[in-house]
Amino acid sequence: MRYLFISDLHLETERPDITRAFLYCLEHRARQVDELYILGDFFEVWLGDDDPNPLAAQVIRVLAELAEAGVNVFVMHGNRDFLIGKRFCRAARCTLLPDPYVANLNGERVLLMHGDSLCIDDLGYMKMRRLLRNPLSLFILRNLSLKQRHKIGRKLRSESQIQTRQKPSDITDVNLGQVAKVMREHQVRTLIHGHTHRPAVHTLMIDGEPAERIVLGDWDKAGWVLEVDEDGKRLESFPL
């Protein structure tokens, strides 16, 4: 089987170039595989399945068409779009995965994550993540008016951009000890994640055995995909 992985597209109406690249990728890459995995931050911000955003409607339509063509589509929450819910998934004909999730790729157990939970040295972010992902917080957010959610979304986005610029780069990257811990817990030798915007294939040793961590790239100056098949794993970029 063939698999395609993408993450961190941060789709928004202000970046039509990314939307065009995504649509091209679906038509010319995703239709050639058996399964498509979108590992978080698919949208720059997702305020709820009830948001009448024309971009969201377009994305739902093309994902449903891809599923109709026989491609299984899987979506994972990111830190920007953790309010994606059942209504979106039903309409887009995709499956929402937990984070982390162990997939079987041609007989190999592979751990899939968005990646933000690995950045444990960023104490401020981890505190905010725990607050926002709390079931009570999620219930409150989903029951606020769309106007209120828009206001909160703008505030969180602005604060995130300011804090990211101010923090040292090693703080916003994954903690390698946490990477080894999570891979050991899930008994895997391959981890695929996004979030850090630092695309690369890292080799490492876990309990004396070789392992690899594949980081998906963000779609900004280029688009990034990881294709996996029986011949191996290929992380590729292409111009937007």
DSSP state letter for 11:
B
The C-alpha angle 72, 74, 79, rounded to 5 degrees, equals 165
Report d(CA 18, CA 223) in Å as an integer: 8
**8 annotated ligand-binding residue:** yes
193 marked as binding residue: no
Instruction: For residue 88, give the 3-state DSSP assignment.
Output: helix
* Residue 20 annotated as part of some ligand binding site: no
Is 170 marked as a binding-site residue? no
Q: Is 28 annotated in some ligand binding site? A: no
- CA-nearest of 181, 236, 188 to 212 is 188
Please indicate if the annotation marks 122 as binding a ligand. Answer: yes
Residue 175: Cβ-neighbour burial (10 angstroms; 0-12, 13-18, 19+): middle
The answer to whether 164 is a known ligand-binding residue is yes
**Distances in Å between the alpha carbon of 227 and those of 5, 26, 65, 131, 133?**
6, 13, 21, 34, 30
Annotated binding-site residue? 167: yes
Residues 192, 5: contact at Cβ < 8 Å? yes
195 marked ligand binding residue: yes
To the question of whether residue 197 is assigned a binding role by annotation, the answer is: yes
**Is position 114 annotated in a ligand binding site?**
yes
CB 103 within 8 A of CB 190: no
Q: Is 80 annotated for ligand binding?
A: yes
Long-range contacts (CB closer than 8 Å, 24 or more residues apart) made by 25-31: 25/223, 25/225, 26/62, 26/63, 26/66, 29/4, 29/225, 29/227, 30/4, 30/66, 30/71, 31/66, 31/69, 31/71
Q: Which residues are annotated as a binding site for Mn(2+)?
A: 8, 10, 41, 79, 114, 195, 197
Q: Which residues are annotated as a binding site for substrate?
A: 79-80, 122, 160, 164, 167, 195
Q: Which residues are annotated as a binding site?
A: 8, 10, 41, 79-80, 114, 122, 160, 164, 167, 195, 197
